[in-house]
Amino acid sequence: MTDTPRYEPHDIEQKWQRVWEDERAFSVPNPVEGEPQAENHWYQLEMLPYPSGPSLHMGHVLNYTMGDVQTHVRRRSGWHVVRPMGWDAFGLPAENAAIKEGRHPRVTIEANIETMRAQMKRLGWAIDWEREVAAHQPTFYRWTQWLFQQFVAHDLCYRREGPVNWCPNDQTVIANEYVVDGHCERCGAEVELRNMTQWFMRTTAYADELLEYPGADWPEKTKAIQRNWIGRSEGAEILFRCEETGDDIAVFTTRPDTLFGATFMVVAPEHPFVEAHAGDEAKEYAKRAGARSVEERSAAVEKTGVFTGLHAVNPVNGEKLPIWVADYVLMDYGTGAIMAVPAHDERDAEFAETFGLPVVQVIDEDGKLVNSGRFNGLPADEAKGAIVAEIGATATVNYRLRDWSVSRQRYWGCPIPFIHCETCGVVPVPESDLPVILPDIEDYAPKGMSPLAQNEEYMNVACPQCGSAARRDPDTMDTFVDSSWYFLRYVDPHNHEAPFDRFVVDYWLPVSQYIGGVDHSTGHLLYSRFFVKAMNDWGMVGFREPFERLFHQGWVTLGGTKMSKTKGNVEGPDEVVARYGADATRLYILFMGPADQDMEWTPSGVEGIVRFLRRLWRLVHEVAAAAPAPGERQGLLARKANETIAKVTDDVLRRFQFHTPISAVMELCNEISAAPDAADARFATETAVSLIQPYAPHIAEELWGVLGHERLWEAPWPEADESQLARATFELVVQVNGKVRDRFQADASLSEDELVAIARDSERVAGFLDGAEPRKTIVVPGKLVNFVV
């Protein structure tokens, strides 16, 4: 084979990238109302990058290559696929990076975007670049501001004074969702509570609905994280009257059945009752305790507290309970006051033990009430309602979720489009004056208040209502406001009349497949759902969930820790691409292991992939010369080729597995190498090239040409000839409560989870499950699935 040219990845890659760019190969037009539309459409989305660093890291490379494989396979399977990209350009990470470099954030961010875009193009990802958006462009943030005003107009965004999380290092308020164990998620500094007047998004208005995921196929663990964050609990609000002052103190409890066991009451140090009525000692204690961080307070080993000298009357039996102030009760949960039931609550028990307070057991081992007067003997569950009714308390639901604070005292963000007038109050900037442009200022360093506040030219403005001198809102928005709707703008990025056209978003959305980090579960992924539900209520979109399918990739680690800008252990793709080419880099990042598991980046491993590409290169040239075209589609190699088609397709589209298809194509190539002049070698080789195309589109395109074809990126995805698939199957029996409800042939290679999934999909079974989650599922591999409901 002396005439086989050398495999030169850089030449090939640049050649095809130029072709795709010239042809606008991955641009897709939007549907036009009244004209015929492609029915099979797919919105492929990966979380957009922060351009806070001068390079993509290998975690990005993993995500965007996964999205790329999905894009190519779907496109070639006849789907109309949109796959956009953009930049989360505002916000703390970008601003902090700029400050570190001593350059204006805009300069740094735009330079980073240039670099990252070039890296993306160099990797050959099939992105529709005509839809590119960046959050810091006025064409985008004009609509962020417009939406902000809509939220205010619909009473879903409001200003109030209240305790907020202050990061002393970043010198700004941060949202609850980004406080991790009492520390700033960005910089690790311990967060302080401050009382400030801030804008809040009323996420709690949708608390109940956010617990459900109609039509959204999300990982159970993500739903569990969100539900836990929302923290819904059912209970009752019970009023205790203070014997000495006559004040009613409201207590939220999930356990009204234990009311007879209440032996004292505890109020939080911040509770207004303390300031109003408690003695000096209690006030002094409250002042000290309230200044401690929430984390310190919850982690404290020793319980502390002070008796206020006052008593509360238990409404169920008239007993007088001493009222204590103690820092283990938080103002932010429930009502900031609790009835303490030391017999049935661990923290109350510790407190009672420390201060020698009485303990009264009111539930016995059988779960029935004791020491509870006329309720004795009643099961605890029944007693809840009965006691609530008896004392005339209100059954109520409590949530852990708090409204989202969105004001930031930093420069690099979307200006808040409101004006403060002494006469008219808080007035929206008229729509015709949007966007409020973020001015270029010299001194943008954080200073504990918004840097914009000192810019008189920006701040001074006439009130749009009365015309008198007024001031702009000096704060900027949390960058998560930008990312709560960017995926809607992507599908209609050049719209000058509105943030997007409803017809267009209703065509493309919900997003068919979203890929991104599980670390965004209680932030971005929750906020986006809140935004979409609100917009659906206003008639702006025709759906209620933004992301139909969600996949969380594993972390790419370096030296055992997650690669990320904040951790400072970033390794970019440049070196490995320069050395081995984009195709090898793409293949390798997906070959490293299951995409949902963490993987350690070891660049030396690329060598193995490069050897495979060279082998494939030689093999295709050899077969093109030796095996006749079009070639047989029967035989051992053809059978192997068909099995590989079935496996790769199933792995990518259904199982979301990206490493196993690469091994499968490698195996196929090994078998072809053993018989390169077999009558079916050409068919098998063409199949191998076609199947590897989504992973390594450049070499695949080049080799497709060697095989006498062109435009593989548009060629139909291969379909397996079922008659050639030797598949082991067995008869799967599906039971509901032990009764046989269906039986059918199932693939012997399916995992237990997959068996459960196909069993649930059976229509005959679905009727008996009635949409409910089975209490228990029993799987006997190779035999049966039994649902217990």
Q: Could you say whether residue 169 binds Zn ion (CB under 5 A)? A: yes
Q: Quote the least distance from Cβ 174 to Zn ion, whole Å.
A: 7
Q: Give the pairing of strands 248-253 and 404-405.
A: unpaired
How many C-beta atoms lie closer than 10 Å to residue 789's C-beta?
13
What pairs with residue 183 in β-bridges?
180, 190
Touching Zn ion, residues 180-209 (CB under 5 A):
184, 186-187, 189
What pairs with residue 167 in β-bridges?
172
Point out which span in 222-230, 257-265, 423-431, 436-444 binds Zn ion (CB under 5 A).
Answer: 423-431
Point out which span in 38-46, 164-172, 321-329, 339-347 binds Zn ion (CB under 5 A).
Answer: 164-172
Point out which span in 169-177, 223-231, 268-276, 580-588 binds Zn ion (CB under 5 A).
Answer: 169-177
Q: How far is CA 764 from CA 217, 735, 767, 769, in A?
A: 22, 10, 6, 9
Residue 192 belongs to what H/E stretch? strand 192-201
167 or 624: CB nearest Zn ion: 167
Point out which span in 406-414, 418-426, 594-602, 678-686 binds Zn ion (CB under 5 A).
Answer: 418-426
The site that binds Zn ion (CB under 5 A) totals a number of residues, namely 13
How many angstroms separate the first and last alpha carbons of the chain? 66
Point out which span in 45-53, 228-236, 422-430, 614-622 binds Zn ion (CB under 5 A).
Answer: 422-430
Q: Quote the least distance from Cβ 172 to Zn ion, whole Å.
A: 8
Q: Quote the least distance from Cβ 192 to Zn ion, whole Å.
A: 11
185 or 622: CB nearest Zn ion: 185
Q: Quote the least distance from Cβ 169 to Zn ion, whole Å.
A: 5
Distance separating alpha carbons of residues 374 and 39, to the nearest angstrom: 65
Q: Quote the least distance from Cβ 177 to Zn ion, whole Å.
A: 14
Per-residue b/e over 414-440, b at no fewer than 16 CB within 10 Å? bbbbbbbbeeeeebbbeeeebbbebee
Whether residue 676 has a cis bond before it, omega within 30° of 0: no
19 or 462: CB nearest Zn ion: 462
Q: Quote the least distance from Cβ 104 to Zn ion, whole Å.
A: 21
Q: Quote the least distance from Cβ 524 to Zn ion, whole Å.
A: 18
> Residue from 81, 123, 164, 167 that binds Zn ion (CB under 5 A)?
167
Distance separating alpha carbons of residues 689 and 706, to the nearest angstrom: 11
Q: Could you say whether residue 460 binds Zn ion (CB under 5 A)? A: no
* Alpha helix stretches (DSSP H) within 176-335: 220-230, 272-277, 280-290, 294-299
Q: Quote the least distance from Cβ 426 to Zn ion, whole Å.
A: 10
What are the percentages of helix, strand and coil residues in the chain, rounded to 5? 40, 20, 40
81 or 164: CB nearest Zn ion: 164
Map tokens 């095996």 to a residue: 627
Q: Could you say whether residue 177 binds Zn ion (CB under 5 A)? A: no
| Contact between 188 and 178 (Cβ < 8 Å) | no
Distance separating alpha carbons of residues 110 and 120, to the nearest angstrom: 15
Residue 111 belongs to what H/E stretch? helix 105-122
> Residue from 267, 429, 436, 463 that binds Zn ion (CB under 5 A)?
463
Q: Could you say whether residue 466 binds Zn ion (CB under 5 A)? A: yes
Q: Could you say whether residue 424 binds Zn ion (CB under 5 A)? A: yes
Q: Could you say whether residue 170 binds Zn ion (CB under 5 A)? A: yes
Touching Zn ion, residues 16-35 (CB under 5 A):
none
Instruction: Compute the CA torsion angle 648, 649, 655, 658 (nearest 10 deg).
Output: 40
Q: Quote the least distance from Cβ 418 to Zn ion, whole Å.
A: 12
Identify which of 420, 418, 422 has the alpha carbon closest to the alpha carbon of residue 433.
418
Point out which span in 199-207, 240-248, 461-469, 526-534 binds Zn ion (CB under 5 A).
Answer: 461-469
> Residue from 62, 238, 421, 720 that binds Zn ion (CB under 5 A)?
421
Using DSSP, state whether 594 is helix, strand or coil.
Answer: coil
Give the residues lining the site for Zn ion (CB under 5 A): 167, 169-170, 184, 186-187, 189, 421, 423-424, 463, 465-466
